[in-house]
Structure 1
Amino acid sequence: MPTKVPTLNRRLFLTGSTAAAATLAAARTLFPSGAFAQAAGPEVTGAKLGFIALTDAAPLIIAKEMGLFAKYGVPDVEVLKQASWGATRDNLVLGGAANGIDGAHILSPLPYLMATGKVTQNNQPLPMSIIARLNYDSQGISVSQAYKDVGVGLDATPLKEVFAAKKAAGTPASVAMTFPGGTHDLWVRYWLAAAGIDPNVDVSTITVPPPQMVANMKVGNMDAFCVGEPWNEQLVNQGIGFTAATTGEIWKHHPEKALGLRDDFIAANPNTVRAILMAVMEAQQWADAMENKDELAQILGKRGWFNVPPADVAGRLKGDINYGNGRVATATGLEMKFWKDHTSYPFKSHDAWFLTEDIRWGYLPATTDVKALVDKVNREDLWRDAAKTLGVVEADIPTSTSRGPETFFDGKIFDPENPSAYLDSLTIKALA
């Protein structure tokens, strides 16, 4: 267990590579010296944080690798690999004190599904909070090489007739995602439904942990999948399939993963939470700098983290995309984002979309009070407090909890002030 500490040691030296230290030294110009000097010290020196082997876990990994947790007085933070999102959920239910975890790199809808008891044993709610967003963009929808001549891309319509024939033959297409009601499930459902393919009727949807996607497609267990990087890029590099679309093409600058914590940990350790947030924010700024992408890919590729060739990570970190079907695009603006454009801030309007989509597909009841649930789980106030303590420049702190209406690739518009109008505009849905 982390030990109690009386005050924050603000002169802890950064550990890690010389290059990383130099980069972070430069970053201190963004965070004025002593900006957090008045903050009270952490109640404990650490926490147990889970992560899945996905590129968007980078802020937690970098904060650990480069000594940022130590810098802010929580050197005993553990960043622990989880086998699946189901395992993440189960370990959050256990909690750090019971050999589980206190928080995690997590699918943005999952804390809501846990807080409402929709995905927990015996439907027992687990009070959870989202305290930061970890990234925007750079997930992918990949398709088996068997469909390379069909012409499917951002528009999935070419698959409609093919999938209908498979269903009629008694072998419906298998489409994989990573957790029911999670982001990857919602992206692939949106993509299919926009093409008139009902994901509840026309295909078979299955749940597969992210690191197992490529191997399962290789042996023919699925026709398509949606997952984060580096697995789409690895699929292309191994010649097993191709990327039909990246999720940033479905909704540019979309929110993806979050940093979630158990409410009891937050209540008992508010200063520790602030310290964790400051470390993660600094890591996000470092990870967002284009000049650091190759080093980031090297770090994530290590055996202890992802155990993959850095080449599987680097391209899409930079927005350079080899789709694997003859299409190659560079400097697309679809790179994974960690800080710019207010990426780190957890907009309540974004969580409202996730909840509305979970209502659309029957994971939450139609009677769900979206605003009330978002206000309960989204703790953007903790983010603002940490940002102010850290000395984040005013331009990087949003003035509103809403980013306003969002427009999708098919022309649909989500107004967070009127989720029901968005739902009414959708033809394919399965309301509970």
Structure 2
Amino acid sequence: MRDRLADPSRRSALKGVGATLALASAIKASFPGGAFAQGAGPEVKGAKLGFIALTDAAPLFVAKEKGFFAKHGMPDVSVEKQASWGTTRDNLVLGGEGNGIDGAHILTPMPYLITAGRVTQNNVGVPMQILARLNTNGQCISVAKEYLDQKVGLDAKVFKTAIDKKKAAGKSVKAAMTFPGGTHDLWIRYWLAAGGIDPDKDIETIVVPPPQMVANMKVGTMDCFCVGEPWNAQLVTQGIGYTALTTGELWKDHPEKAFALRSSFVDKNPRAAKAMLMAVMEAQQWADKPENRDELATILGKRQWINIPASDVAGRTKGTIDYGDGRVVENSPLIMKYWADQASYPFPSHDMWFLTEDIRWGKFAPDTDIKALVAKVNREDLWREAAKDLGVAEAAIPTSKSRGKETFFDGKVFDPDNPAAYLAALDIKRIA
């Protein structure tokens, strides 16, 4: 009988099977946890992602530096510094194919404002999708050194007394944030209003890009500002002002930045979008490990990212907060979180709060269909798919799209099932 193994056609077939198995093993190694199970990798190998020089952009830096984008089949992703949130918006409108960007590290309300055409030229909306939250906590409200004796803190009534006196002397008072209707705008407005200060009538609100906050405070452009790190810490280091409060004190474990892409990119390249999402999620897990925090500080400090000494960002990155007014907190429970306590999952209920606050301040019309807009922009379903493919533990995946009722430092409660009741309970607002 003829030896089947000696049969050339048989040997060829076996060789083909071996090659196929080798290829399958390679794909499995490159895309662990079942990603792209049908054998189809990302439609493209790259995309253009924007960022602002802030520590909450760390997941994008880490995904690039540690090779997570490449691991998931996207080696050509470029992470590009933007001058301001306004520049980020403009480049998102252009899109990657128009010499702009395809997605970004972004203030959570911005994809909604851009989608609805509230902040775009001629009110022409550009549909956006939020794929993940990048972090919780980690922002601060800082005040100028001239208010050091007042020890301004969580209760803005102390600040109100000080600025009333300054205005009575004929001097202007200004509060800086980073983008109208964005997270920093909403944090500082909430704080001011809770202390009886109308942010539109009692104080002038101005827009300043995050990296320019400290320089502007130094020359007296503003009395207080709200921004992310490392700029609050830099203010303290340079002796120009101090941290009045961390935003986690306003609302513990509040959502902050988001990872968002243009809808057109997601629709055209769904596998590539998912691959980048998985890379970002892995980077978030890496960044949140205590043993990686020193290396994280080194990455953040690099010239192409924030461009500061690693020592200037290490403290707050690891939970040590020197407020600059004599208060020093070690192991703060309000540390910036990238992954822990479901920080990465984009709770739709949180987006509803941002939209409700933007209605409060006139950025959206009172009759805005909040639920419909959130359903259009928030892609928590993609996050869940990516989490499953990454093998994320069930305990780390929320069982609900809502974190439930949220309580703020002043006792106000936001029930995502009844935003109208929340609005009605607020004293200072732009709607009746």
Question: Which residue in 2 is equivalent to 1:166?
Answer: 166
Matched, 1:381 2:378: no
Conservation of the 8 A alpha-carbon contact between 1:54 and 1:230: yes
Paired residue type of 2:396: D
Question: Which residue in 2 is equivalent to 1:277?
Answer: 277
Q: Distance in 2 between matches of 1:35 and 1:314?
A: 36
Question: Which residue in 1 is equivalent to 2:296?
Answer: 296
1:191-206 paired onto structure 2 within 5 Å: 191-206=191-206
Paired residue type of 1:99: N
Displacement of 1:163: 1.4
Paired residue type of 1:309: P
Q: Which structure features the higher share of helix residues?
A: 2
Matched, 1:101 2:98: no
User: Which structure 1 residue ranges, 5 or more long, are not aligned?
Assistant: 1-5, 14-30
Identity, in percent, stands at 67
Paired residue type of 1:92: L
Conservation of the 8 A alpha-carbon contact between 1:8 and 1:41: no
Q: Secondary structure at the match of 1:226?
A: strand
Q: Distance in 2 between matches of 1:265 and 1:163?
A: 47
Displacement of 1:316: 1.4
Q: Distance in 2 between matches of 1:428 and 1:7?
A: 61
Conservation of the 8 A alpha-carbon contact between 2:151 and 2:325: no
Question: Which residue in 1 is equivalent to 2:81?
Answer: 81
Q: Report Cα offsets for 1:27-76 as digits up to 9, x if no partner.
A: xxxx9x54436153100001100000000000000000011100000000
Q: Secondary structure at the match of 1:79?
A: strand
1:311-330 paired onto structure 2 within 5 Å: 311-330=311-330
Matched, 1:36 2:35: yes
Conservation of the 8 A alpha-carbon contact between 2:63 and 2:283: yes
Q: Distance in 2 between matches of 1:415 and 1:388?
A: 29
1:241-256 paired onto structure 2 within 5 Å: 241-256=241-256
Matched, 1:357 2:357: yes
Matched pairs, number: 409
Question: Which residue in 2 is equivalent to 1:26?
Answer: none
Q: Report Cα offsets for 1:90-119 as digits up to 9, x if no partner.
A: 000000001100000000000000011000
Displacement of 1:8: 11
Q: Distance in 2 between matches of 1:228 and 1:62?
A: 18
Paired residue type of 1:116: A
User: Which structure 2 residue ranges, 5 or more long, are not aligned?
Assistant: 1-22
Q: Please report the TM-score for the alignment, with normalisation by the length of structure 1.
A: 0.92
Quickly say closer, same or farther: Cα 1:426–1:8, change in 2 above 3 A.
farther
Paired residue type of 2:251: W
Question: Which residue in 1 is equivalent to 2:342?
Answer: 342
Q: Distance in 1 between matches of 2:161 and 2:367?
A: 35
Q: Report Cα offsets for 1:150-200 as digits up to 9, x if no partner.
A: 121011111112212333343221110000000000000001101001101
Tell me which structure has the larger Cα radius of gyration.
2
Paired residue type of 1:238: Q
1:305-316 paired onto structure 2 within 5 Å: 305-316=305-316
Conservation of the 8 A alpha-carbon contact between 1:140 and 1:247: yes
Paired residue type of 1:45: K
Conservation of the 8 A alpha-carbon contact between 1:10 and 1:72: no
Q: Distance in 1 between matches of 2:91 and 2:168?
A: 41
Displacement of 1:392: 1.1
Quickly say closer, same or farther: Cα 1:198–1:342, change in 2 above 3 A.
same
Question: Which residue in 2 is equivalent to 1:156?
Answer: 156
Question: Which residue in 2 is equivalent to 1:67?
Answer: 67
Conservation of the 8 A alpha-carbon contact between 1:10 and 1:71: no
RMSD: 1.7
Q: Distance in 2 between matches of 1:205 and 1:154?
A: 19
After TM superposition, which residue ranges in structure 1, 4 or more long, deviate above 6 angstroms? 6-9
1:79-158 paired onto structure 2 within 5 Å: 79-158=79-158
Quickly say closer, same or farther: Cα 1:130–1:7, change in 2 above 3 A.
farther
Conservation of the 8 A alpha-carbon contact between 2:34 and 2:390: yes
Q: Please report the TM-score for the alignment, with normalisation by the length of structure 2.
A: 0.92
Displacement of 1:385: 1.0
Quickly say closer, same or farther: Cα 1:37–1:272, change in 2 above 3 A.
closer
Q: Distance in 1 between matches of 2:93 and 2:47?
A: 15
Q: Distance in 1 between matches of 2:26 and 2:45?
A: 11
